[in-house]
Structures are given as structure tokens and as C-alpha cells.
Amino acid sequence: MTGTIFIRGLLIHAQHGVMQHETEVGQRFVMDIELSTDLSESSRTDRLADTVSYSSVIATASAAFKDANYKLLERAAGAVADAVLAAFPRVNTIKVTVHKPHAPIAAIFEDVGITLTRSRK
């Protein structure tokens, strides 16, 4: 039974961006993560050991996101996807969306960002 574990609206302060002030001061990013995994065993046993802990995913994703100063959201999301796939063998596919609501763009907008999907090979 394939299912989805999701985390929405994870707020992280980090120093990503092309502009110098973005890498010095940083800003708030919002991350959404969706994990495709087999939930058949955990749906019967009710044991955390039989699933993927979203608490552990948040810790892994947050560390990967803040680990370096990336210029591009694509690279930051890729680092998160790689870290989660490496740490959680039960995860088959990960979709990472990174929102940059305060991007230094001369326009009025609600949100900008990227979505990246990676699967096990």
C-alpha cells in the first residue's frame, strides 16, 4: 500500500541567494515535503519503527537545507532530497517545494519558489 507522508509549511531561516545581503543576513524560507512510501505494515502494526518518522525527516531536511549557503533554490532542494533519500531507505520518492516569499524581486507577488521531485534509481 503506497502512501504519502507530508510536511507542509516548515519555516527555516537560511542564507541562500545570489545577492550578497541574502547570504549575509538571510531570510525565511518555507518548505513543503512529500514522501512516497509503503504504509501497509505501519497501518497494521501501529509501530513507528514500521514507517518513516516525520520528526526525523524534519531534522534531516532542516540540517541539509541550512548546511551550506546555496545560490539557487534548486540546489538547496536537491540537497534536502539527497539527504532524505540517503537517510530513509523506506522513502521511494520525495517531492520538495521551497518557497521564497521575500525574494528580492521588484514586483508585488505572494510567493515564488521551486518544486523538485527525486526517486530512487
Q: How many domains does the chain have?
A: 1
Q: Cα–Cα distance between 37 and 69 in angstroms, integer?
A: 30
User: Per the residue annotation, which of 66, 71, 95, 100 is the catalytic one?
Assistant: 100
Classified as helix, coil or strand, 10 is: strand
Mean pLDDT for the stretch of residues 88-112:
94
81: pLDDT strictly greater than 80:
yes
In this prediction, residue 39 carries a pLDDT of 96
Catalytic, 100? Answer yes
Mean pLDDT for the stretch of residues 6-15:
96
12: pLDDT strictly greater than 90:
yes
Mean pLDDT for the stretch of residues 82-102:
97
Q: What are the CA-CA distances from residue 57 to residues 10, 20, 52, 75 (Å)?
A: 11, 30, 8, 18
24: pLDDT strictly greater than 90:
no
CATH number (domain holding residue 14): 3.30.1130.10
> What is the extent of the structural domain holding 38?
2-119
22: pLDDT strictly greater than 80:
no
pLDDT tens, residue by residue, 40-70: 999 999 999 999 999 999 999 999 999 899 9
Asked whether the beta carbons of 42 and 5 are under 8 A apart, the reply is: no
Percent of the chain with pLDDT over 70: 100
Predicted model pTM? 0.93
